[in-house]
Amino acid sequence: AEITNPLSREQAVLRPCLSPSLIRIVANNLNQKQEPVNIFEIAKSFFLNPAGQVQEIWTLGIAVCGTASRLLRQGAVKDESSLLHLKGPLEELFARLGIREYLFGYPSDAARVEISIQQEKVGMMMGVAARQLERFGIKNRDVFVAELNLEKVFAYAKQDSKFTPLPKYPGISRDTSVMLKKEISLAQVIAAIKRQAGPLLKEAKVVD
């Protein structure tokens, strides 16, 4: 459906899905040498019902692309984006909503994964075809996207979830360099930091 008074040419129609917008944002980040790209959007998507009326649903869209360097015990490794980088956040979302009877199914099209809860389809995730990526100026990169019908998902959410208020004060991060003996492992350092910091510490990780 077209909008009578759009803000721009790109916003002249109602979006039936969020993936094209997310891919465009991925392309902009890659053009600025920002990699990897891990983004999401929660917005309304629109479709025509059998009566020809426009209906809207709250939708979650996620896109991942690029390669990240991770420091493990065996050294630095390259972590390339894949469908697993979409599956992890979605599983975490289901866990927080108390949803357990979900399934990631692989139909005949191996590039597309259907997401269902109690046998009802609620979304999908897939790798974007190279010919579609070229339309956005993306070459030699793999982009993976997921879309979830939040209204269907929330219908299966447990009602006993509790709200956790936002932090009263902004977070503080510190980048500290230390010299260690070779026999001291990174795990020992992280454990010591967590032990001394107490409940105020949210995360401690090795940067380099």
Instruction: Tell whether the torsion through CA atoms of 118, 121, 123 and 126 is positive or negative.
Output: positive
Identify which of 83, 100, 80 has the alpha carbon closest to the alpha carbon of residue 91: 100
List of residues 6+ apart from 55 with CB closer than 8 A = 46, 47, 48, 49
Query: According to the model, what pLDDT value does residue 32 have?
Result: 92
pLDDT at site 72: 66
Tens place of pLDDT for every residue, the chain, 208 residues? 555 565 555 555 667 889 999 999 999 999 999 989 999 999 998 877 788 777 888 999 999 999 887 766 666 778 889 999 999 999 999 998 999 999 998 766 567 899 999 999 999 999 999 999 999 999 999 999 999 999 999 999 987 766 677 778 888 888 888 888 889 888 888 889 888 988 888 888 887 7
Query: Which of 120, 127, 177 lies closest to 151 in space, CA to CA?
Result: 120
Between CA 44 and CA 200 the distance in angstroms is 37
CA distance 154 to 100: 13
Rounded CA separation 58/195 (Å)? 42
- Tokens 């991770």 label which residue? 70
Distance between alpha carbon 70 and the CA centroid of its chain, in Å? 18
Looking at residue 50, its pLDDT comes to: 80
